[in-house]
Amino acid sequence: MPKFDMIAFDADDTLWHTERLYVRAQDRFAEILTHYCERKWINERLCQIEARNIEHFGYGIKAFTLSMIETAVDITDGRISGNDIKTILDLAREMLSTEVEMLDGVNKAVAQLADRYPLMVITKGDLLDQETKVAHSGLGKYFQRIEVVSHKTPESYARLLAEHSLEPQRFFMVGNSLRSDILPVLEIGGSAAYVPYEITWQHETAAPSRKHPGFYQFDHLEQLPALLEQLEQ
């Protein structure tokens, strides 16, 4: 009998590149506003407004766009032009229409695991955007469920597992965010593998939990099948 009844994956920056889109957009956003104030202050203010708006708008490109517009209005004391607002909206459209770029080794690893385990995606963000990414990635055929949640907390994971009749001890989560993908799962008694991404959004930083018996870390997702095979033995 397999050790785990379900292997779940985060999506953004675990299966495909996403954060680099935000970094590029934020850089271009700062360029729009540099004739109003310094770039450093623009980035700091955007970060503050993003953090405040998560509670209201959640995660994803659309929420990020609303925060950029609010930041632009705030920094310029309402003097931001309609053309500049349109440019910000064009940035968002470009982000949403960018082709999905998979991380190295993801396709092979997911295909291998799908032969041995039920798989699902648990991700935050906009439902339409995430479903579109899954479809365009070509990975949708491997996942039994796609779950897009507002927040990733111990309570939300426990509720989701209960909905699928899954025991935490037989659940394994894979992701690039310690705060969202790893620590909450460990807290409810599950296992989790941390796969760091090249960029970490500052709202997702957290201290690692290397002493936890269910915590694992590796550099590339293609190492996951071997890890799970070792755990089964």
Encode pLDDT of 159-183 as tens digits. Answer: 999 999 999 999 999 999 999 999 9
pLDDT of 206 reads 56
pLDDT of 225 reads 95
- The 10 Å CB-count burial string (b at 16+, else e) for 37-52 is eeeeebeebbbebbee
pLDDT (mean) for 72-78: 95
State yes or no: pLDDT of 94 exceeds 60. yes
Name the amino acid, one letter, at 203: H
d(CA 18, CA 133): 10
Token couple for 195: 């796969």
Which residue, among 55, 12, 40, 26, has the nearest Cα to 195 in the 3D structure?
12
pLDDT of 200 reads 62
pLDDT grade for 128, boundaries at 50, 70 and 90:
confident
Name the range with the highest mean pLDDT among 56-65, 112-121, 122-131.
Answer: 112-121
pLDDT (mean) for 6-14: 96
- Which backbone phi and psi does 149 adopt, to 5 degrees? -115, 160
pLDDT of 205 reads 55
pLDDT (mean) for 20-38: 92
pLDDT of 150 reads 86
pLDDT of 208 reads 60
pLDDT grade for 197, boundaries at 50, 70 and 90:
confident
Q: pTM here?
A: 0.88
Average pLDDT, rounded, for the chain: 91
d(CA 69, CA 56): 15
Which residue, among 125, 122, 126, 61, has the nearest Cα to 97 in the 3D structure?
61
